[in-house]
Amino acid sequence: MLQPTRTRTDISFGRVGLRIALMVLALGTPTRGDEESSPLSGNGSDTQAAGTVAAETETGLIGAITGSLFGDVYAEGQWRPLSLGTFFTDGWLEPWAAAPSGRDGLTPRHGWLGAFNGVFFRLWSTQLDYANGVHSPAGGNRYAGSASIFLPFSRRFEILIDEPFVVSNATIDRRLGYRDESGDLVVAPRFLLAESVSTTHVLALEIRTPTGSRATGGGITSLAPRYEFWTNPVGPWVVRGSTSLVNPLGNRQTLPTLLTGGLAVGRYFTPHDMLFGDLVFYAACDLSVPLNDTATTATNVTLGPGTRFHLGADYYFLNYWAFPVTGPHPEQFSVQFALVKLF
């Protein structure tokens, strides 16, 4: 899944998340003009930078679903901006179309490892994670592999399905070595709040189901509403991030209520049609704050670099390294690799 997994400070982090969201709304709004220039209004000069912009084309429920899943969603001229003010009335019966690559065509709306998504996709991915020196009674390292798919059903709605097909960690009994189990299946309905040439706002609800084993950190049920954003403030630069509240259903000692968030900044260096096309380097910061008074885990903040580039035929390679900067560290460091295929 193209996003991080996270785990005592005061509740001021909540204010930080709110300030970040308000800042992004400001970044995505051009300074000249009135509401006609706002990315939330879907009008004005910000949208005209996309070149050819489609007219409203509602096709009905079946047409929207089939067009989103099987249509040529990357063809030029199919996308148009959507505003927050028309969230309940516009885009639900219209096939999804990929948004343009930022203000100047330099910043594809791609997912990054270690950073929340902030945009809609139609893709599948497989991901491998490694954590070195896990802070647990058993110690050792941790390995995980997962498969994810993003399925859009309209301009406003898509579903993410993430299945960790293997999670492996050490056991207290060294004679048993490492234990390999499947992880918890996650299903996340995602809603596009607003989208312009330079900015996207998404609301998601991550539903974690207890399909995994407690021996490897699974068997947990939780609901996590999450706000995500993506913005291209200038040139080849992208800023993206999120804030979320993870609510466990059941044993809160296994997983406390968590305030999570993240912010990532990256720069694109190459166009699409070349060796290492769509090359981006970025830095990400993620945090997780337990809100329960009885929580045994501490605030966790990680920092790290990442990259992504095109391999050919709409396949992409992704890599991210995360280093904890607050103690006690959940691990010494972690690294993620992923292969992504657009379809």
Tens-digit pLDDT profile for residues 190-215: 999 999 999 999 999 999 999 998 88
CA 169 to chain CA centroid, nearest Å: 25
pLDDT at 63 over 70: yes
Asked whether residue 46 is domain-assigned, the answer is: yes
Establish how many alpha carbons lie within 13 A of residue 34's alpha carbon, considering only the half-sphere containing its beta carbon: 0
Residue ranges with strand state E in the chain: 123-132, 142-152, 157-170, 178-181, 186-195, 199-208, 222-231, 237-248, 258-268, 277-290, 300-312, 315-324, 333-342
**Does the pLDDT of residue 10 top 50, yes or no?**
no
- Can you tell me the mean pLDDT for 173-180? 74
Say what the pLDDT of residue 16 is.
Answer: 39
Angle made by CA atoms 253, 254, 258, in degrees to the nearest 5: 80
pLDDT value, residue 252: 60
Residue 180 belongs to some domain of the structure: no
Given pLDDT bands bounded at 50, 70 and 90, which one contains residue 48?
very low
Least confident of 48-62, 104-118, 252-266: 48-62
Do the Cβ atoms of 245 and 259 come closer than 8 Å? yes
Q: What pLDDT, on the 0 to 100 scale, is given for residue 294?
A: 56
Highest-confidence segment of 34-43, 134-143, 280-289: 280-289
- Say which amino acid occupies 193: L
Residue 16 located in a structural domain: yes
Quick check: is 35 in a domain? yes
- Select the more confidently predicted residue: 27 or 2: 2
Q: Which of 13-17, 33-37, 291-295 has the lowest mean pLDDT?
A: 33-37
Task: Give the rounded distance of the alpha carbon of 68 from its chain centre.
Answer: 20
Within 8 A by CB and 6+ apart from 300, the residues are 6, 7, 287, 288, 324, 326, 330
In this prediction, residue 2 carries a pLDDT of: 55
Residue 22 CB coordination number (10 Å): 10
pLDDT of residue 175: 65
Give the confidence band of 21 by pLDDT, cuts at 50, 70, 90.
Answer: very low
Strand 157-170 versus strand 186-195 pairing type: antiparallel
Q: How many CB atoms lie within 10 A of CB 75?
A: 12
Nearest CA-CA partner of 126 in 2, 213, 306, 211 = 2
User: Is 168 within the bounds of a domain?
Assistant: no
pLDDT of 30 reads: 37
Residue 135, domain CATH: 2.40.160.40
Number of domains in the chain: 1
Predicted local confidence at residue 29, as pLDDT: 39
Domain, as residue range, for 17: 12-163+185-342
Q: Is residue 33 part of a domain?
A: yes
Task: Identify whether 173 is part of a domain.
Answer: no
pLDDT at 111 over 90: yes
What whole-number distance in Å separates Cα of residue 68 and Cα of residue 72? Answer: 8
Q: What confidence category does residue 343 fall into, taking pLDDT thresholds of 50, 70 and 90?
A: very high
Q: What is the mean pLDDT of residues 207-225?
A: 91
In a domain, 176, yes or no: no
Q: What is the mean pLDDT of residues 34-49?
A: 41
Judged against a pLDDT cut of 50, whether residue 66 lies above it is answered with: yes
User: Residue 104: beta bridge partners?
Assistant: none
The pTM (predicted TM-score) of the whole model is 0.83
Q: Exposed (0-12), middle (13-18) or buried (19+): which is 70, by Cβ within 10 Å?
A: exposed
Q: Tell me what the mean pLDDT of segment 277-285 comes to.
A: 98
Average pLDDT, the chain: 85
Residue entry with tokens 């309940």:
88
* Structure confidence by residue, pLDDT tens digits, 86-100: 999 999 999 999 999
pLDDT at 154 over 60: yes
